[in-house]
Structure 1
C-alpha cells in the first residue's frame, strides 16, 4: 500500500510539474541586453493536487522574468532554480491543521487528510526567503469516466497520435472539466513531465446536451508509439480555475507574456501567484497497442 501511494504521489507530482513547466519549451526567448529595468521581487507560485487515497501534493515555485531564461536553458536546471525549498507548508480546515513534508524539487506532500466534497480548506506557506502566502478553496466532488478507451491513431502523414473515446455523467449543477493526456515513463516520471508535451482539453458543460456526454478527441502534442504508457486525467474543476487554465491554454505559445513579471493571470493566492485547488482526478492508464 505504501509503495502504491508513493507511485501515485510521483505521478501527481509529475502532473503538477507539467502544469507549471510547459512554459519551458524550445521557444523560450533569447535574452535581451537591456539596462535600467527595475528588479521585480519574485513571488511564490502555488499548484496543488489531491488524489483518491487522501494524499495531497503541493508544488511551490517562484516567479521569474523572461530575461532569466533563454532557448539554451536546461529544464531541470531551471526547475531547480525556481523551486521553493525552504517553506513550511500547512493545510487546515475548521477542525485540524496538517503539516506537509518536503519531498524535493519544490514538492510538498501529505497523506491521510480526510478531504470531503464541499469542505473548505486553507493553505498556508511560509518561506524564509519569499515570505508568506495563503489561499482558501473548497473541495470539488470527483466525477469519473463512465467508459474510456485510448488507442493509437495514424493521421495519414508522419505523426501518430492518441485517440481518446470516453463518456461521463454530468451532474445537475454547473460543472467545468479538464482532461489531460500525459505520456508516462515509469522509471522517470518527474523527468518525463518536464518535457512540455502534455495535452490539455477544457470543457464547459453548457455545451452538453443532457446528463450523458461523450466524445472522441486526439492528443497531438507528441508522436506516440506502440508500447508507450499514457495516463488520461478527468478533473472536475471550479469556474475560476477553468478561466485561469483557459488563459494559459490560449497563451501557451506566448512565452514572453507568460514569463514576464508580473504574471497577468487570475489567482486565488493571497500575496502570490498560481492557483490553490482541491479536486480529485479520475486517472486511467493505458499501454498503447499496435493497430
Structure 2
C-alpha cells in the first residue's frame, strides 16, 4: 500500500510541476511579445449600388436598387424586410434608353423603380443608367431575350409521408437557337418575394438546352423548401435568359450564399453593371398562377 501511495504522490508532484512550467512559459512568452500596434489608415470600403431587374408580362420593368454592406453589418438571422429598408437606394434617377426612346422610371419605395410600360423589342439593345445622390452612378447594357412559354403546366399538392409539397409538371418547346432557361416557383407573399429577389430559392431551376434530347422538354419536380397547404397561391415563372446571367445565377445556387453574403463586400460575383454589382436583364417570363389543391 505504501508503494502505491508513493506513486500517487509522485504523480501529483509531476502534475504540479507541469502546471508551474506552463505558467512560467506563459509569463516568459508574454514578456517577449511586443506591445500591440495601432493600425490606422485602412480606407473604409464605400458601398456599391446592387442592381436587380425584372420585366413583368405587361412589359412593365421593375428595378430593385440596394447597396452593398460590410460582412459584419447583417447576419443570417436578419429579417429580409428590415434589411431591405436599411439597404434600399431611394434617392436615384433611373432611366432606360432603347431603340425608340428613353424612359424615366418612377420610384415605388423600398428601392424599387418602375411603373412604366416600355415596348421592349426582341433582340433590341437597352441601356440602364442610375444616378444616386449618395452612391454615385452605375450603368449597364443588355439585349431583350425572346419570350418562351409553357406548352403545358400543372401544380398540385403532394404528400411524401412527412411533408406537404407542391409538385410541378411542365413541358415546353425549345427553339432551334442556343438557349438557357430559368424556372422559379414562389409563394405569393410579399415577405417571401423580397427574400427571393435578394436570394434565389432552392426551387429555382436552371436549364441548358445542350442537355435536351429533343426540342420538346418536360419534367416533374417537387418544391421542397417549405410546407404548403390547400388554398396556398403560388406563381411559376419561366424565362429565357442570357448565358451570362445563367452563369451568374448558377454560381449563386452552387455556392448557396445567403442574401446577406451576396450583398456584403467580400463576395464577388460576375456582373454586367459598370461601377456596381448585380445584373441587368431584360427577359419577359411566362407566369402561371395556381391555387394549390
**TM-score between the two structures when normalised by the length of structure 2:** 0.81
User: Which of these residues, 111, 119, 141, is aligned with residue 124 of structure 2?
Assistant: 119
Deviations 1:177-199 (A, max 9, x none): 000010113xxxx3342455842
> How far has the Cα of 1:52 moved from its partner?
2.1
1:37-76 equivalent positions in 2, closer than 5 A: 38-76=43-81
1:175 matched to 2:179? The reply is yes
Deviations 1:242-266 (A, max 9, x none): 0000011111246775344143110
1:153-172 equivalent positions in 2, closer than 5 A: 153-157=158-162, 159-172=163-176
Give me the whole-angstrom Cα distance separating, in 2, the residues matched to 1:91 and 1:255.
Answer: 26
| Corresponding residue of 2:10 | none
Deviations 1:104-142 (A, max 9, x none): 000000422110100000000000000000000000000
SS at match of 1:80: helix
1:222 matched to 2:226? The reply is yes
How many residues are matched? 250
8 Å CA contact 2:76–2:260 kept in 1: the answer is no
8 Å CA contact 2:71–2:266 kept in 1: the answer is no
Deviates more, 1:196-205 or 1:128-137: 196-205
SS at match of 2:83: helix
| Corresponding residue of 1:9 | none
8 Å CA contact 1:184–1:231 kept in 2: the answer is yes
SS at match of 2:204: strand
SS at match of 1:67: coil
User: Which of these residues, 105, 108, 111, is aligned with residue 110 of structure 2?
Assistant: 105
User: RMSD value over aligned CA atoms?
Assistant: 1.8
1:83 matched to 2:115? The reply is no
**TM-score between the two structures when normalised by the length of structure 1:** 0.81
Give me the whole-angstrom Cα distance separating, in 1, the residues matched to 2:107 and 2:208.
Answer: 35
1:210 matched to 2:184? The reply is no
8 Å CA contact 2:74–2:260 kept in 1: the answer is no
Give me the whole-angstrom Cα distance separating, in 1, the residues matched to 2:254 and 2:115.
Answer: 32
8 Å CA contact 1:92–1:98 kept in 2: the answer is yes
Give me the whole-angstrom Cα distance separating, in 1, the residues matched to 2:274 and 2:225.
Answer: 34
Give me the whole-angstrom Cα distance separating, in 1, the residues matched to 2:109 and 2:62.
Answer: 12
SS at match of 1:68: coil
| Corresponding residue of 1:191 | 191
User: Which of these residues, 277, 282, 292, is aligned with residue 288 of structure 1?
Assistant: 292
Give me the whole-angstrom Cα distance separating, in 1, the residues matched to 2:188 and 2:171.
Answer: 23
Give me the whole-angstrom Cα distance separating, in 1, the residues matched to 2:180 and 2:134.
Answer: 36
> How far has the Cα of 1:53 moved from its partner?
1.4
Give me the whole-angstrom Cα distance separating, in 1, the residues matched to 2:85 and 2:258.
Answer: 23
Give me the whole-angstrom Cα distance separating, in 2, the residues matched to 1:72 and 1:273.
Answer: 23
User: Which of these residues, 134, 138, 146, is aligned with residue 141 of structure 1?
Assistant: 146
1:233 matched to 2:237? The reply is yes
8 Å CA contact 1:144–1:234 kept in 2: the answer is yes
Q: Where do 5+ consecutive residues of structure 2 fail to align? A: 1-38
Q: Where do 5+ consecutive residues of structure 1 fail to align? A: 1-34
Give me the whole-angstrom Cα distance separating, in 1, the residues matched to 2:123 and 2:208.
Answer: 20
Give me the whole-angstrom Cα distance separating, in 1, the residues matched to 2:263 and 2:116.
Answer: 33
SS at match of 1:270: coil
